[in-house]
Structure 1
Amino acid sequence: MWAALRRGLPQAGFRREVPLGPYHADFCSHAAKLIVEIDGATHADSRAHDEARTRFLNVEGYRVLRFWNNDVMTNAAGVIAAIEAALPSPLVGEGGAKRRMRGSRQG
């Protein structure tokens, strides 16, 4: 999945194993405010943890997409297409007015 994201969606700038608060995202694009999680069999037993994690990430402004390992292994092109469809346009920081960050000094 890592190679497919880097090769297929380079404009999104995905990184892997990204720390966000008390959690780590499998793949994260800060520019797209998008997190991609690849879930295996162990996630079936940790639903409450995953839901709490997703709520935290949503509050931080990220959208979370989840895919099962089996989907990635048998339909990688479909998974990449779904991720691409979820990318905002323009990405954060592209186009639009340039503004100072809150709290930055004027002057």
Structure 2
Amino acid sequence: MKADTFNAIDRLFAPMQMILKIPVYQRNYDWTETNVKRLLEDIEVVLKTKRPHFIGAIVYMESQNSDLGMPEYLIIDGQQRLTTITILLQALRDLCGEQDQQSFRYD
């Protein structure tokens, strides 16, 4: 297995489309309110201080089963954080008006 590091924000918001999959053998989403609050507090500190913050490792491996013409990655570790951040981004998008949502699109 090859290990590599990258900036998660740069990778996840790159214009290239990719598929992130959580394999069925991974545990179910089980973060509690305490876990989510801790992540939100970390995000608040980053916004206030403008300093980088390590949210933890995201371990993935490229899947050989992608048949959609896009790279597909299996999330091995970090799925709880990625899922929570995805839910947070969806909630923020839902709170925006239709005109504001245009800024979320990368067309």
Structure 1 and Structure 2 fold alike (TM over 0.5): no
Q: TM-score, normalised by structure 1?
A: 0.25
Structure (1/2) with the larger strand percentage: 1
Structure with more relative contact order (C-alpha pairs < 8 Å, separation 6 or more): 2
